[in-house]
Chain A
Amino acid sequence: MNQNTDLLTLRSVSKAYGTVPVLHDIDLSIRDGEFLTVLGPSGSGKTTVLRLIGGLEPLTSGEIRLDGEDISRMPINRRPFNTVFQDYALFPHMTVSGNVGYGLSVRHLKRTEIARRVGEALDLVQLGLFAERFPSQLSGGQRQRVALARALICQPRLILLDEPLAALDLELRRQMQEFLKSIQREIKTTFLFVTHDQEEAIGMADRICVMQAGHIRQLGTPHELYYKPNCEFVARFFGENNLVAGKLGPVQGEQRPIETALGRLVCSIGGQPHLKAAPDGASAFAAFRPEALHLADATDSGNRFSGTIADLAFAGSSTVATIAAGADNASQRLRLRMPSRIGGSVLKSGETVSLSFAPHEGHLVLA
C-alpha cells in the first residue's frame, strides 16, 4: 500500500462508439492506495474511463496495465476490481446480506466464511441491523452503503465508483462523502471516483483528474488544480475564478506581467516552466480567485484597477460582489468574495471602488 507505486496504468487508451470517438489517447496512472477522482462535465468521457477499467466495455486501442501486466482483454468477472454503480444495481430479490455476500458465494466460499465476512462488511458500513431487509425496504443512503459493502467484501485492488452520490440529497451527500473517505482510509484500498461535482472532488480526492471532451486536461492534487490550473477549461471549471484576457509581457524572474483591459497585471509563474517559455505577446488570461480580490489600500502598489459594484449577494459566511470593470467599468465582470460581517458589508451597490490582488495570488493561463 505504497502511494508511490502505480497500481494501474492506462497507456494511450482510446475508445470510440462506432465512428464517434469518446476518448482520445488517454494516459493515466493510478497509485496504490490513493483516492483518485475523475472530474468532468457530462460527455467528457469520465464514465467511459471507469467502464473501460472495470471491463464493462472493450477498448478501441491502447492498453490497461495492472502491476505492469496487460489486462485490456481480461473478462470483467476476472478483474480484481469492483464497481459501485450509479443506481446501486442491488439485486432486488436478495436480502442485504444476500447482496453483500454475492461476490463471495459465486466464488464458492464456505457458508460460515461468507456469513462472517458479510457481518464484518455490514458492520463497516454500519448496516449490521439491516442484514435481512430487502433493498426496496431501504433508504437511498442505506442502499448506497449496501452497494459499497458488496463491492469491498471481495477485497478488490481497486473500487470504481460511478457518481454514486448523484441521487442523494445535499445533506446526505455530505455525510456520504465523509463516510466514503473514512472507509477508504480504513481499508486502504484504491478508490477511483467519477463525478461531475467539483465540490465533491475537492472534498474527497487525494488527486483529481479533470477531463473534457475525451481528453485529460489536468491531473493533480485539489490544491494544485485550484491554484495552478494549466488551461482555461480547468481554470473556469474548477471553482469560481476571475479570468481576464490579455497579452503576455516579458518574464520578470518568478513573475510575468500581462497587458489586459484592466491594465498591466503581474502574476506569479513560480514552478511552471511552460509559462516562462511562452513567447512575449502570446494570448493568455490572468486568473485570480474571488477571495484574492480585495479593496485596494495604500500598500497595494501593483495590480490596481477600478470597478463598479453591480450586485451584492449575502451568502452566509461570505458576501459575494459582482463587479463591472474594464473600459467604462463595463467590459469585464469580476467576482469578489469577502467574509461577511455582522454590521453589514462595507461595500455598497453602485459604488465605484479601487480593487487589487497580490501578484503571488494571481496566476497565468495560456489561451
Chain B
Amino acid sequence: MSGAGSTDSAERLLSRLVTMLAFALPVIFVLVPLAIFLVYSFFSVDQGTIVHVPTLGNYARFFTDPIFLPVFWNTIVLCVSVAVICILLAYPAAYFLTTLKGRWRYALLMLLLVPLLMSYVIKIYAIRSILGLNGFLNKALVALGILDQPSTLFVFNMNAILLTLSLLLIPFAILPIFLSLERIPQTLLRASDDLGASGLQTFLRITLPLSMPGVASAASFVFVLAIGDFLTPQMVGGISGFTFGRILYSQFGTAYNWPFGAALSVALAIVVIAAILVGERFGRSRGTSV
C-alpha cells in the first residue's frame, strides 16, 4: 500500500519536473535573453565599458539622429516589397502545384523546396554571380536587345538586396500558400461551377478569398525573415544598400555599443512582433471549416 503510494508520488514528481522543464526551456532560452536585451537597451557605454545606469539616451538617439529612422523606414519598405514580390511569384507556382495530380504534385513541391537545404551563403554567392556585371541576367538582357551594355543596376545596391532576398525567401511563401490552396474542398469549387460561375469568377470569389490565410502567413514569414537578415545586405548591398540589419550588426560587431544595439533590436523586435500578429490575425479567417 505504502509502496504503491511512493511510486505514485514519484511519478507525480517526475511529471511535475517534465512540465516545469517544458516551461523553463523557452523561458531560459527565449524570454530571458529578450529581457536582457530590453534591460541593456537602457544602459549606456562610456570609453568601451558599459555603464549600468538606466537612461533613455539610446532611444532618444534612435529617434533624433538623422541616420537611423530613414534607414529603419527604408528597410521596412524593402521587406514589404520583398514580401509582395514573393507572394506574386509564389501564388501562381503554388496554384499550379494544386492543379497537378497525385505524385507529381509532391515531387514538384519537394523540388521547389530543395533550395532550403542548401547553404545560405552559397546561395547568396550564386545569386550575386547571376546579378553581376558579367552575370547571367545582364548577358540575357543584352542578348535580347533590352540593354545595350551590361548594367550595374542589379548588384551592390538596394535592388540587389530586393532581388536576392526575394529569390532566397520564395520557398517560404510557396509552402503556406500551397497548403491553404490544397485545403480548399473541391466540392466548393464544383458548387461554384454548378451555380453558374465561370472559371475566373470561381477563382476570384472562392479560391482567392479562401487562400488568403495562407497568403497572410506567407507574407509575415517572408517579411520577418527578410527584416532580420543582415548577411544578404552585407554581401550584395555594397555601400548604397544599407539596411537596419547592417546597422544593428555594426553596433555589436564593430562599434561595440551593445546598449545602443540592444535599443535598435528592441525597435526591430516590435516591428517583427507586429508583423507576426497581423499575419496571425488574417491567417485565422472566419470559419474555414464548413
- Give residues in A with beta carbon < 8 Å to B: 54-56, 76-78, 81-83, 85, 87-93, 102-103, 106-107, 134-137, 150-151, 154
The one of B187, B205, B285, B287 in contact with A89, judged by C-beta atoms closer than 8 angstroms, is: B187
Compute how far the CA of A153 lies from the CA of B289 in the bound complex, rounded to whole angstroms. 24
Compute how far the CA of A5 lies from the CA of B194 in the bound complex, rounded to whole angstroms. 25
Report 20 cross-chain contacts, Cβ distance below 8 Å, ordered by A residue: A55-B193, A55-B194, A56-B190, A56-B194, A76-B193, A77-B196, A87-B290, A88-B290, A89-B187, A91-B188, A91-B192, A92-B210, A92-B287, A92-B288, A103-B195, A106-B205, A135-B287, A136-B290, A151-B195, A154-B196
Q: Distance (Å) between the CB of A104 and the closest chain B CB?
A: 9
The one of B191, B201, B209 in contact with A83, judged by C-beta atoms closer than 8 angstroms, is: B191
Q: Are B210 and A154 in contact (CB under 8 A)?
A: no
Q: Are B287 and A85 in contact (CB under 8 A)?
A: no
Closest to B209 in A: A93
In addition to A91-B191, A103-B195, 15 A-B residue pairs with Cβ atoms within 8 Å of each other are: A54-B194, A82-B194, A85-B187, A85-B191, A89-B191, A90-B290, A92-B188, A92-B290, A93-B210, A106-B192, A135-B287, A136-B287, A137-B287, A151-B195, A154-B195
> Cβ of B103 < 8 Å from any Cβ of A?
no
Closest to B185 in A: A89
The one of B185, B192, B198, B289 in contact with A102, judged by C-beta atoms closer than 8 angstroms, is: B192
Compute how far the CA of A154 lies from the CA of B191 in the bound complex, rounded to whole angstroms. 13
Q: Are B193 and A77 in contact (CB under 8 A)?
A: yes
Compute how far the CA of A83 lies from the CA of B197 in the bound complex, rounded to whole angstroms. 14
The one of A54, A85, A106, A134 in contact with B198, judged by C-beta atoms closer than 8 angstroms, is: A106
Q: Are B201 and A134 in contact (CB under 8 A)?
A: no
> Cβ of B28 < 8 Å from any Cβ of A?
no
The 5 closest A-B pairs by CB, nearest first: A136-B287, A103-B195, A89-B191, A89-B187, A106-B197
The one of A87, A88, A93, A107 in contact with B196, judged by C-beta atoms closer than 8 angstroms, is: A107
Q: Are A134 and B205 in contact (CB under 8 A)?
A: no
> Cβ of B206 < 8 Å from any Cβ of A?
yes
> Cβ of B101 < 8 Å from any Cβ of A?
no
In the complex with contacts A85-B187, A89-B185, A92-B290, A106-B206 CB distance below 8 A: no
Q: Are A106 and B287 in contact (CB under 8 A)?
A: no
User: Which residues of B (191-235) have their CB < 8 Å from a CB of A?
Assistant: 191-198, 201, 205-206, 209-210
- A residues in contact with B201, CB < 8 Å: 106
- A residues in contact with B197, CB < 8 Å: 77, 102, 106
Q: Distance (Å) between the CB of B30 and the closest chain A CB?
A: 34
- A residues in contact with B194, CB < 8 Å: 54-56, 76-77, 81-83
Q: Are A134 and B286 in contact (CB under 8 A)?
A: yes
- A residues in contact with B287, CB < 8 Å: 92-93, 134-137
Compute how far the CA of A10 lies from the CA of B87 in the bound complex, rounded to whole angstroms. 47
Compute how far the CA of A134 lies from the CA of B287 in the bound complex, rounded to whole angstroms. 8
Q: Are B290 and A93 in contact (CB under 8 A)?
A: no
Closest to B188 in A: A89
- B residues in contact with A136, CB < 8 Å: 286-287, 289-290
Closest to A160 in B: B194
Q: Are A150 and B195 in contact (CB under 8 A)?
A: yes
In the complex with contacts A103-B196, A107-B196, A93-B286 CB distance below 8 A: yes
Closest to B287 in A: A136
- B residues in contact with A83, CB < 8 Å: 190-191, 194
Compute how far the CA of A90 lies from the CA of B193 in the bound complex, rounded to whole angstroms. 13
Q: Distance (Å) between the CB of A194 and the closest chain B CB?
A: 15
User: Which residues of B (178-193) have their CB < 8 Å from a CB of A?
Assistant: 185, 187-188, 190-193
Q: Distance (Å) between the CB of B283 and the closest chain A CB?
A: 14
- A residues in contact with B185, CB < 8 Å: 87, 89
- B residues in contact with A85, CB < 8 Å: 187, 190-191
The one of B192, B193, B205, B290 in contact with A135, judged by C-beta atoms closer than 8 angstroms, is: B290
Closest to A56 in B: B190
Compute how far the CA of A137 lies from the CA of B196 in the bound complex, rounded to whole angstroms. 26
Q: Distance (Å) between the CB of A40 and the closest chain B CB?
A: 21
Compute how far the CA of A84 lies from the CA of B171 in the bound complex, rounded to whole angstroms. 39
* Residue from the set B193, B194, B205 with the largest chain A CB neighbour count within 10 Å: B194
Compute how far the CA of A149 lies from the CA of B214 in the bound complex, rounded to whole angstroms. 31
- A residues in contact with B196, CB < 8 Å: 77-78, 103, 106-107, 154
Q: Distance (Å) between the CB of B71 and the closest chain A CB?
A: 39
- B residues in contact with A89, CB < 8 Å: 185, 187-188, 190-191, 290
Q: Distance (Å) between the CB of B194 and the closest chain A CB?
A: 5
* Residue from the set B187, B195, B196, B286 with the largest chain A CB neighbour count within 10 Å: B195
Closest to B193 in A: A76
Q: Are B209 and A82 in contact (CB under 8 A)?
A: no
Compute how far the CA of A87 lies from the CA of B289 in the bound complex, rounded to whole angstroms. 12
* Residue from the set B185, B191, B209 with the largest chain A CB neighbour count within 10 Å: B191
Closest to A95 in B: B286
The one of A87, A134, A135 in contact with B187, judged by C-beta atoms closer than 8 angstroms, is: A87
Q: Are B187 and A92 in contact (CB under 8 A)?
A: no
